[in-house]
Amino acid sequence: MGYKSFDEINEKIKSGKAVVVTADEIVDIVEEKGIQKAAKEIDVVTTATFGPMCSSGMFINFGHSDPPIRMGKVWLNDVPAYAGIAAVDAYIGATELSEKRGMEYGGAHVIEDLISGKDIKLYAESYGTDCYPLKEITTYINKENINQAFMFNPRNAYQNYNAATNTSEKILYTYMGTLLPQMGNVTYSTAGQLSPLLNDPCYRTIGIGTRIFLGGAQGYVAWEGTQHNPGQSRGENGVPLASAGTLALIGDIKQMDKRFIRAAVYEKYGISMFVGIGIPIPVLDEEILKYTAIRDSEIFTNIYDYSVPKRSKPVIKRVSYAELRSGSVEINGKIIPTAPMSSLKKAREIAELLKQQIKTGEFLLTQPVSNIPGENRTCTLDIRGEVK
Amino acid sequence: MKKIKVSLIYPAGDVGKPITYHLVRDFNLVINILHADINLNKMGKLILDIEGEEEDIENGLKYVEEQGIKYKLFTKTIIWQEDDCIHCGACTAVCPSHALSMDKTDWSLTFDKEKCLVCELCVKSCPLNVMCVNIF
């Protein structure tokens, strides 16, 4: 074990000699050459995902006006932002809805528009203080005239996720898309064998401080993500059988590209944001490589019945991602069509782009400053008032 | 040559008539059945692409009407704004005719207009709003 270090791999990257492949390509390479040989030859495996991730948003600092204002309430293009921090700092969440346009425009659209270079209307109110006398401001901002705009996403890159179906008689509108009655379809949302945390299931190389591709910019893993649940049950190959680990990610909005950050509207559900993430995995030893070579047929998830609006939804069936990708699954003798919710085409584009960036020395790897937890428990929330 | 998309509504008990056969033989029309929901003694629906000379199509539809079958021309089409599409696949979950499907080699969305029933389910299910209705 352990025959390459981060430093050695980075030296190879700098001299343009690093061998980099995507997590799709590694599957065939390992099949042809075997783990041992492949682990020696390959330095980095790139992973990626491009899916809707609601737990995303942006911190922004507007700069000070004259006279100055201590912003108490902030709206960006009529979408409320959280301003309960310092005078001209705010955070806008991806799922926040416009107060004027409702579900057709929200926080994710503000972020996408800012990345695109568009002007955004800023309106803020304040109670006025001795040092910040201004009580109201209306102006326009864009990515050139603000101090900082960085994405901080509390929960991204879910390691595995539910598949969804609907056994009820009525159509359901969910964050897993439109679910047709009587199990008319099954939807799933993952990049499967290309997905970052499914390629490093025990968080050996992805940790706090890992440099990543985020929305077209170079970003970082900031922390474990919210609801990080490494204790999820796992298969013999170490891969979680349901949603498990998550990552909190950070990156500079000003360097991002609209091709990799897109606002999304789910009918009668609300707004989300497609986030393009690429994470390189250094092949430090054979075990790490073995994990990256796990394929869709060896990764499983549960199909849940989303017509039961409870915290624990009934499991209809356990299936592999190879089955889901085939276009249909069999449930109780019935063939049910399947459909993806996250874009594998775009995920592949990101994995390929990151591969090129590493090959050309534009992107260097970082060793985690600290690992993310490998064990914990997740809490639930008791209702102590009336259930409404 | 002209091409139209039309839905035929069969009243209950009228499914015995070989309408498509007559449209082909007597009116020289090229018929493509896109969707069929025909049941004995129940109301039925047939969605067809009809291709032929303008006059033949006109006469064919007149014949359909004479048989007591109502028809409705499709006056809308679905436009896919491909440049803005991220190929997530959400629309394929609801498309009843598989006009929208994923290409299993590169996982891009494909849209076969011929198969489209203009049910508009994709318009609402697209999270990026790239499917829209074109009225002509």
Is residue B135 exposed (0-12), middle (13-18) or buried (19+ Cβ within 10 Å)? exposed
Which residues of chain B make contact with A325, given a CB cutoff of 8 A? Answer: 104
Average pLDDT over residues A265-280: 97
Which residue does chain A place closest to B98, by CA atoms? A337
CB crowding A324-350: b at 16 or more within 10 Å, else e: bbeeebebeeeebbbbbbbbbbbbbbb
Question: Are the beta carbons of B92 and A325 separated by less than 8 Å?
Answer: no
Question: Are the beta carbons of B127 and A346 separated by less than 8 Å?
Answer: no
Question: Are the beta carbons of A52 and B127 separated by less than 8 Å?
Answer: yes
Residue type, A61: N
Cβ-based neighbours of A84, under 8 Å, separated by 6 or more? none
> pLDDT tens digit string along A118-156?
999 999 999 999 999 999 999 999 999 999 999 999 999
Higher pLDDT, B37 or A205: A205
Distance from CA of B105 to the nearest CA of A (A): 10
Average pLDDT over residues B52-65: 93
- Given a cut of 70, is residue B14 above it in pLDDT? no
Interface of chain B toward chain A, CB-CB under 8 angstroms: 86-90, 92-94, 102, 104, 106-108, 121, 124-125, 127-129
Q: Which H or E run includes A73?
A: strand A73-76
Question: Are the beta carbons of B93 and A343 separated by less than 8 Å?
Answer: no
Torsion angle (degrees, nearest 10) of CA A200, A203, A205, A208: 130
Residue-by-residue DSSP string for A86-141: STTEEEEETTPEETTTEEEEEHHHHHHHHHTT--EEEEEE----SS--B-EEEEEE
Q: What is the mean pLDDT of chain A?
A: 96
Distance from CA of A338 to the nearest CA of B (A): 7
Q: Which H or E run includes B50?
A: strand B44-52
Residue B15 pLDDT: 61
> pLDDT tens digit string along A217-235?
999 999 999 999 999 999 9
Residue B130 pLDDT: 97
Q: Furthest-apart CA pair in chain B: how many Å?
A: 49
Instruction: Let me know: does A170 contact A312? Beta carbons within 8 Å.
Output: no
Instruction: Let me know: does A355 contact A194? Beta carbons within 8 Å.
Output: no
- List the catalytic residues of A: 131
> pLDDT tens digit string along A12-22?
999 999 999 99
Instruction: Let me know: does A50 contact A350? Beta carbons within 8 Å.
Output: yes
pLDDT tier at A382 (50, 70, 90 boundaries)?
confident
Question: Are the beta carbons of A346 and B86 separated by less than 8 Å?
Answer: yes
Q: Which of B93, B108, B129 sits opposite A345 (nearest CB)?
A: B108
Rg (CA), chain A: 22
Average pLDDT over residues A336-360: 98
Average pLDDT over residues A65-80: 98
Question: Are the beta carbons of A180 and B129 separated by less than 8 Å?
Answer: no
Neighbours of A268 (CB within 10 A): 12
Query: What does pTM read for this prediction?
Result: 0.91
pLDDT tier at B11 (50, 70, 90 boundaries)?
confident
Best mutation site among B86, B100, B105 for testing chain A: the one with the most A CBs within 10 Å? B86
A22: three-class secondary structure by DSSP: strand
Residue A383 pLDDT: 84
Which residues of chain B make contact with A337, given a CB cutoff of 8 A? Answer: 93
Is residue A279 exposed (0-12), middle (13-18) or buried (19+ Cβ within 10 Å)? buried
Residue B136 pLDDT: 62
Which residue does chain B place closest to A260, by CA atoms? B86
Higher pLDDT, A99 or B114: A99
Distance from CA of A372 to the nearest CA of B (A): 30
Average pLDDT over residues A79-89: 97
Q: Which H or E run includes A357?
A: helix A344-359
> pLDDT tens digit string along A293-335?
999 999 999 999 999 988 889 999 999 999 999 999 999 999 9
pLDDT tier at B38 (50, 70, 90 boundaries)?
confident
Instruction: Let me know: does A279 contact A38? Beta carbons within 8 Å.
Output: no
Distance from CA of B121 to the nearest CA of A (A): 9
Which residues of chain A make contact with B87, given a CB cutoff of 8 A? Answer: 343-346
A67 prior amide bond cis, ω within 30: yes
